[in-house]
Structure 1
Amino acid sequence: MLTAMSVNAQAQSDDAPAAELNTVTVTGYRGTFMDSVKYQRDVLETPRIVTVLTSDLLEDQNVTELRDALRNVSGISLQAGEGNPPGGDQLKIRGFNARDDINVNGSRDLGNYFRDPFYVDQIEVIKGPNSAFSGRGSAGGTINFVTKQPLMEDRNRLETSVGSDELFRVTGDFNRRIDDNSALRLNVMSHTQDNPGRDVVDQERQGVYAAYVWGLESDTQVEVDFLHTRQNNTPDQGIPIDREGFSGDTSQLGSNGRTSGGQRASDGYYTGALPPGIDYSDYFGHVDDYQDIDVNQLGLAVEHRFSDSLSLRNQLRVSRVENDSLTSSPRLIVPEAAFGSGDFSQVQVRGDLKPRDQTDTSFFNQTDLTVNFDTGSLKHDLVLGAEVGYVDIENRRRPDVRGPATNLYNPTRRTRPEVPYDGTRHRLESEQLGLYALDTIAFSPQWDLHAGVRWDHVESTAMDYGWEDPIGPISRTDSEWSGNLGLVFKPTDNGTLYASVGTSFDVTGTFDRGLVQLAGGGSALTGNREDIVDLDAFNTDPEQTVAYELGTKWNVADNLLVSAALFRTDKTNARTPAVGGGDLLNVLDGEQRVEGFEIGAMGSLTPEWKLYTSYTFMDSEVLSSNNPWEVGSRLGGTPEHTFNLWSDYAVTSQWSIGGGMEYVADQVNNVASEPGARRRQVEIDSYTLLHASTAYRFNEELQLRINGFNLADKEYISQLAEGGAQGIPGPGRHVIATLRYDF
């Protein structure tokens, strides 16, 4: 993408020509500017917590997936989903779902797939409600991929990685200057790997990204880019969690005939224990489970600078993501007699088959006019913009099937039953229009006001096909205002104090677990046709979020940015589980709050010593819910404490060493219900992981890097299903050696 005549981070570090407007500047681990023209100040002067994961950091850590990169960002947790999860990157930022809040060069990147950053220069995490900048969603924050851009020089890089768990990876980065003002850049990737510490589960993917730009270093630039990735994975739905209590002390039977199940008297949660005798490596899927994903994206950006104070930019992005999968969700079957006898040797496990054949097609076009002008003594950096979007999500329906059961302790590998396509389809269409104005006003060298407002109009239609008595089409229209206001005080050139408030919204009709979830009436388009649509319930106001943040940022030793912030986020009209309903029923009758503080540092302590660290404390609570048992509980996937640290030191001009750690406190699942009922709020343990690296540069062209992950081989659950039925273990210890050749 062209961003105000900018060049990318890597170009800056390699003495490429300087940008003329906003420039993504990187020195070590510190990213100075964000990519989008919507942010008219650098990270230091932006009134919110912004985390920039630079190309240097991604390379030093040998990052191969988005989830690997995000371990550097405190306040983010990974999710497993449940029922029929769409797969791909599922995460929460500051306690709120951000699966659909991932952007590429500022355009929304919808679709469920695992993102490999082989074509990415930097990753930006902008925390707090962001609808004034990005539109619907973004309650906890947004993530933006900044892709590698063509440069005005010839350069090439090849990397080959081999590692434990049969890892083999090859990437190529080739840039060619075509003439005085155009260039082509090509990135390719091939990756195969068994998942560390997990039996059977593996990954295979290939990708290519190409970008061509005309008009470099001129007033008019045009860029076209294309991304294609293909993934063929053995999906991992994890290990069944003992929610029934049979792993507890059988001498401590409760009044309902069940054991304590590790219930913690101090907080009332049930420990998310693995059944006794089960290993973290055990696989409970069928032998022929699969996940095939194809991603195709096309981008076109045109930018013209009329003068030093006026520029116009238009960006179009079209995406199509095809996700075809059959996954098995493990479920425990515990005989009632076992709770009285204490003999659990006949416990069984069943793999419930969850098919998905979903295609996500999206089109987004953004136009931004940037104007710099004065009104008296006030200096304005104004961005006026419009965004038009279209989303079409279609799921070819195959019915959920309960797989065959087998003994938990003497299992037999099972072939999944055939699940033919039954001729039905579910579809969600959304047409979106957004108009926005973002103004950064300098009152004096010490005071800035950041003000933004956006109006969004969203028309959503849900329908199904192929049924004898089809549901739909069902439509609703939402028009919402979002705002952002921040005040920045700069007591010195290297420090800021700020206060900000922002809002966001999200409409009620979304694809979740492969369904169109509607308010109150459950799922409008459930494949099993269990629910009747309540049209009145569908016509429910969107979820609303407001957040407050008070913080400070300081440049220390010229190249180390230190930040701290207090924050509170309140969500109203939130989705909550319906009392007495099935797993798929939701109502919009809740209030949720997450508040806490965050501190961090990124950059360099000395020219040889790079540092990246952050800590976030989050106190989450359900304030109101249609389900009274949920009130007062923590939000699912929202650990109170998260901490990360990474440091790299250049011992000599050729040799460097690095290392770090990450800590995630205990977490609970997302649904609480009456004690003694089937669905309990389960708690999984905290974990600490240790990582290290070393690199040796033989000459200007050749470098060897070795990275070790989870060095203590910690066994842990990294992702917990919303209902607590299963957890996905995190990667075990693994090592990767990468040889890089520049030419």
Structure 2
Amino acid sequence: MSRSSTARSGASYLALACVGFIATAPAHAADNNNPTPADADKEAQDRSAQDRDQIVVNGARSGELQGPKAVATVENTPRSVIVLPKDVIEQTGSTTLADALRTVPGITFGAAEGGNPIGDRPFIRGFDSQGSTFVDGVRDTAAQTRDTFAIEQVQVVRGSDSTLGGRGSAGGSINIITKTPQATDFVRATASYGTDDYKHASLDVNQYLGGNVGVRIAAMWHDQGVAGRDAIWQRRWGVAPSVTIGLGTDTRLTASYYYLESHELPDSGIPYLYTIGNAPGAGEIYSEPAIGKVTTIGGVTGNVSRDTFYGLKDRDFRDAYTHQAALRFEHDFGTLTLRNSSHYGYNEQNYIYTQPDDQQGNVFGTTAVVPTGAAATRGDRVNGGYLWRRANTRYGYTETLGNQTDLFGTFDTGSVKHSIALGTEVSWEKARRGAYVLATGSTVSPRCNNDTLARFYCTSLFNANPNDAWVNYTGDTTTVQTPIVEGAHSAETQNEANSVSAYAFDSITLVPSLLLNLGVRYDHFTSKLTPALAAGTTQTVTLERTDDLFNWQAGLVFKPTKNTSLYASYATAATPPNSLLGEGSEPNALPTTNTAANLTLLDSLKVEKTKSYEVGAKAGLFNEQLSLTLAAFQTDTDNARATGEDGTVQFVGKRRIRGIEFSFNGNVTKWLNVFGGYTHMDPKIVDGGYTALTAAAVVVGNVTVQPAKSVLVPSVNTGRQATQTAADSFTLWANLTPVKGLSFGGGAFYTSRVFGGYSDNRTATQNAAGVVTVNPATKVLLRSVPEYWRFDARLGYKINEHFDVSVNVQNLTDKVYFPQAYSAHYASIAPGRSAFATLGVKF
């Protein structure tokens, strides 16, 4: 109840603040001593309004890169770059960053897991980019679910990108450009209402106060259920004020703040049907989510409907709070600009959510034999049709502080033109996390029996009830009730990092038809990890590591005509150990104890290296209103952490991603604009290292003649498709305006099969002489989600220059599909068909 009250009180405060701000707007607009650009002639205003209805590709508006490191236009940048403008975000009804990014081809999403917190987890060109998300060019470390209300555009740079953003960015990066004050007056507000209790309101107000001062406030309130899902709800509100002093002058100072508060019942998705231990048949076996008609190993057939929710309303929750503050100073020296930006961020996230079954085998069942004896007395559920409600818990915060200085602009050296960006960055990051203390049945084996069902630790696969009256006890078998509490302070894990960076970029126009693009970056990255206090100890330890990273990129652009370009480029990326500070999937984390072996490992850790090769062509058609890009690329990763052939941790893992991309963005005609593209990839795990198998001890009578032995075999992952990555994806959003004021929008989105993880049933045995035999696999389990098509539609009508209405229908065909594949346990299920109507107001 307290969480809901907090959300409602926040929304009320937001509404009052917004009303007050709008009420003062006429006074600012009437400042006759400082006329604004809105005082221009009526004909120019009409032309401007018409232009705003189109997606301008290569001009200075939505189709171009923004920020000091954007030393060239999209057309003259020798790599694949997608600029997602706010027009497409608004037309598609996208209220979260994940919603918006589904319109970009080649991006898939990974699910939250035990070691990976809930939050946006996009994969670009086969690589996890959760830690390579930036806001106005500044790394946004914390795992979180981002809203779009304060977003001006989203820039997706594909390919190895550490030169641009620093550590990580193996497959690319995402840069969010936020809304800032403009030298004009406007009020834009929307109110939406739809199916499944969908309610959304947004506000964007910009006022020119005179004296070269502008203020802007963006705000949002959101409350909804989820179409096709039982019990799920989401509420959030946010506000983002900013002020700029010196608009239109050589010296500008911008201060901004962003706050987002979210509360929700998190969705636990649908469990996979099989584990490697119970999968029927032989050879390659696909384990997909247990949806629709399911027959268990015991022969029971039932139906898992799309709305089945395995979580618990009395236990599960997610609360998140984000604060971001920034201060930016800029001064123009002719064609060069000096910018200094200071930024502070604080993100808190606390949750308990159900991870269905956790590979316990209860879904399909572990045996067809009916239990007898003690197992029958306990009521062990081993014949399938049940699942364990594993609680995945986390509480904690991430805090960042940084300063960035940039010098950027243009100058000439004789006949050679330069567009440069030079900069330095210093940052400090801290992340601390712990887990809640609660009993979940994790000490009971098998997990599901009469007692665990009575306590709602387990539930029916076919008839789960989220309203089960779950109660927390001091233990799995005690009857003493206790509230859920945070773990001891000494049980928390803390990560810290300090970075000092310097970088330089230059887009050199050698002759009008030939451009050379160069970039270098150096990062001095120090990471510290203070693990939870080990049992029986009284003093914590801190493990520390420092890495020096050097990355570079180079590209050549040839322009056969003014509006076309051919390019080739090379770029690197470096991902040091503990790069994500525990805020994402960390395959190369620092060790968490101070054992001799781990201290040795600490010194032997290596930086994961990635290289990208790319060639492509770009063209601006129809008076540069439509941008087309075609690219072919290969990305190679070395030094990935894996088990070596001698059983020790080594850095032998390799991945290779090859592919082609085609994208389009802009206006085909004055009445049709399009956004989207197609991506085909061959994402391959070239070397996954080794996996250890244990040959059991040989016992003759009561004498052990051979101890247990470990033998290494090549990983089941080697040679297989990289996980969380689709081989093929296609997106299209089109907006058609046949007559003035009337528009039709439509979207088509395709993603091919995505794999979450692999396992096999190889075993090792030994004889009395100690000779070990590896028994080859009879089956390989491929956990995956099937391909899908999704279609959206929109109808809009502009009543007059101040009012417009629209209706969006999402997932038009009510398709059951899964947009996220977890590595082992479950897959996230997408919402069903939903519709909402929106009233827009502009002044």
- Tell me whether the two structures share a fold, i.e. TM-score over 0.5: yes
The one of 499, 516, 521 aligned to 1:432: 499
CA distance in 2, matches of 1:316, 1:614: 36
1:189 to 220, 225, 228: 220
What corresponds to 2:355 in structure 1?
A: 329
CA displacement 1:28-69 (0-9 Å, x = unmatched): 163442111212111111111111111221121121111111
* Maintained 8 Å contact 2:269/2:828: yes
What is the match of residue 734 of structure 2? 647
Deviation at 1:660, TM superposition (A): 1.6
* SS of structure 2 residue aligned to 1:59: helix
Worse-superposed segment, 93-102 or 57-66:
57-66
Equivalent residue in structure 2 for 1:455, among 522, 546, 550? 522
| Deviation (angstroms), 1:381 | 1.9
Q: C-alpha distance in 1, partners of 2:53/2:343? A: 26
Alignment of 1:21-36 (within 5 A): 27-28=54-55, 30=57, 31-36=62-67
- 1:206 paired residue among 228, 233, 237: 237
Please give the residue correspondences for 1:423-572 in structure 2 after superposition, counting only pairs within 5 Å.
423=488, 424-464=491-531, 466-467=533-534, 468-469=536-537, 472-510=541-579, 519=588, 524-525=591-592, 534-539=598-603, 540-558=605-623, 559-572=625-638
Give the stretch that moved more between structures: 458-467 or 632-641: 458-467
Q: CA RMSD in A?
A: 3.0
Q: Deviations over 1:543-581 (max 9, x none)?
A: 111001100000111211111000111111124479999
Q: Is the 8 A contact 1:515 1:525 kept in 2?
A: no
Give structure 1 stretches of 5+ with no counterpart: 1-10, 17-23, 246-255
Q: Distance between the aligned counterparts of 2:187 and 2:747, measured in 1?
A: 30
Matches of 1:257 and 1:604 in 2, distance apart? 54
Residue among 727, 733, 741 paired with 2:827 = 727
- Alpha-carbon deviations, 1:138-171, whole Å to 9, x = none? 1111111111121222211221000111100111
The 3 A distance-change label for structure 1 pair 305 and 291 is same
TM (normalized to structure 1)? 0.89
Cα distance in structure 2, aligned partners of 1:109 and 1:273:
36
1:625 aligns with 2:688: yes
Residue 420 in 1 paired to residue 485 in 2? yes
Mapped to 2, the partners of 1:626 and 1:416 lie a distance apart of 44
Mapped partners of 1:405, 1:637: distance in 2: 28
CA distance, structure 1, for counterparts of residue 687 and residue 551 of structure 2: 23
- 1:407 matched to which residue of 2? 460
**Alpha-carbon distance in structure 2 between the residues aligned to 1:65 and 1:575:** 33
Partner residue, 2:330: 303
Counterpart of 2:458 in structure 1: which amino acid? A
The C-alpha deviation readout for 1:60-117, integer Å capped at 9, x for no partner, is: 1121111111111111001103225311111111100000111111111121221111
Structure 1 pair 534/516, CA: closer, same or farther in 2 (3 Å)?
Answer: farther
Cα deviation digits, residues 9-31 of structure 1 (max 9, x gap): xx9xx989xxxxxxx99941634
Equivalent of residue 383 in structure 1, options 402, 421, 428: 421
What residue in structure 1 maps to residue 479 of structure 2? none
The CA distance in 1 between the partners of 2:409 and 2:797, in whole Å, is 47
Aligned to 2:836: 736
Q: Is 1:658 aligned to 2:751, yes or no?
A: no
Alignment of 1:159-170 (within 5 A): 159-170=190-201
Between stretches 267-276 and 388-397, larger displacement belongs to: 267-276
Inter-CA distance 678–478: structure 2 relative to 1 (3 Å threshold): farther
Please give the secondary structure, in 2, of the residue aligned with 1:43. coil
Q: Identify if the C-alpha distance between structure 1 residues 578 and 211 changes in structure 2 by more than 3 Å, giving closer, same or farther.
A: farther
Q: How high is the TM-score relative to the length of structure 2?
A: 0.79
What is the CA–CA distance in structure 1 between the aligned matches of 2:817 and 2:644, rounded to whole Å? Answer: 31
Q: What secondary structure sits across from 1:568 in the alignment?
A: strand
- How many angstroms apart in 2 are the aligned matches of 1:390 and 1:26? 42
Is the partner of 1:536 in helix, strand or coil?
helix
Structure 2 letter corresponding to 1:338: T
Asked if 1 retains the 8 angstrom alpha-carbon contact of 2:340 and 2:404, the reply is: yes
For 1:235, what is the secondary structure of its paired residue? Answer: coil
- 1:85–1:512 contact (8 Å) kept in structure 2: no
By how many angstroms is 1:464 displaced? 3.1
Distance (whole Å) between structure 2 residues aligned to residue 355 and residue 678 of structure 1: 33
**Cα separation, 2, equivalents of 1:523 and 1:493:** 50
Indicate conservation of the 8 Å contact 1:518/1:586, yes or no: no
| Structure 2 equivalent of residue 596 of structure 1 | 659
- Where in structure 2 are there 5+ consecutive unaligned residues? 1-39, 46-50, 296-302, 372-380, 442-456, 473-482, 691-713, 763-776
CA deviation profile, 1:404-448 (whole Å, cap 9, x unmatched) = 123323445352635432312210000001111111111100000
CA distance in 1, matches of 2:339, 2:650: 41
CA distance in structure 1 between the partners assigned to 2:438 and 2:685 by the alignment: 31
2: CA distance, partners of 1:373 / 1:569? 34
| Correspondence 1:362 to 2:449 | no
Matched AA of 2:402: F
Aligned to 1:704: 805
Q: Deviations over 1:342-382 (max 9, x none)?
A: 99765321111121111000122111112533334322222
In structure 2, the residue matched to 1:248 is none
CA distance in 2, matches of 1:162, 1:99: 31
Distance 1:311 1:510, change over 3 A: closer
Is 2:390 the counterpart of 1:352? yes
Moved more, 168-177 or 469-478: 469-478
Question: Secondary structure of 2:304's partner?
Answer: coil
- Deviation string 1:625-648 (CA, Å, 9 cap, x unpaired) is 223221101111111100001111
* Between 133-142 and 28-37, the greater mean CA deviation after superposition: 28-37
Letter matched to residue 311 of structure 2: G
**One-letter amino acid matched to 1:178:** L
Q: Find 2:271's aligned residue among 240, 247, 270.
A: 240
1:525-551 residue CA offsets vs partner (Å, 9 max, x unmatched): 49xx9x997122233111111001100
| Greater Rg by CA | 2
When residues 533 and 295 of structure 1 are mapped into structure 2, their CA distance, relative to the original with a 3 A threshold, is farther
Q: Deviations over 1:272-317 (max 9, x none)?
A: 5445521222111122200000000001111101122x22111111
CA deviation profile, 1:464-502 (whole Å, cap 9, x unmatched):
355542552000000010001010000100100000010
Distance 2:760 2:428 in 1: 38
Q: Given the alignment of the two structures, is residue 318 of structure 1 paired with residue 383 of structure 2, yes or no?
A: no
Instruction: Confirm or deny that 1:37 pairs with 2:104.
Output: no
User: Which secondary structure does the structure 1 equivalent of 2:440 belong to?
Assistant: strand
Matches within 5 A, 1:52-67: 52-67=83-98
Q: Do the aligned residues in 2 keep the contact of 1:543 with 1:572 (CA within 8 Å)?
A: yes
Q: In 1, are the aligned partners of 2:802 and 2:842 still within 8 Å (CA)?
A: yes
**1:269, 1:714 → 2: CA distance?**
21
What is the CA–CA distance in structure 1 between the aligned matches of 2:655 and 2:601, rounded to whole Å? Answer: 20
Distance 1:158 1:40, change over 3 A: same
Aligned residue number for residue 5 of structure 1: none
Conservation of the 8 A alpha-carbon contact between 1:136 and 1:504: yes
Distance 1:183 1:278, change over 3 A: same
User: What is the identity, as a one-letter code, of the residue corresponding to 1:392?
Assistant: K
SS at match of 1:535: helix
Q: Measure the CA separation in 2 of the matches of 1:389 and 1:315.
A: 12
Return closer, same or farther for 1:391/1:230 CA change in 2, 3 Å cut-off.
same
Distance of 1:607 and 1:699 partners within structure 2: 19
CA contact (8 A) 2:422 2:503 kept: yes
Amino acid at match of 2:739: T
Amino acid at match of 1:278: V
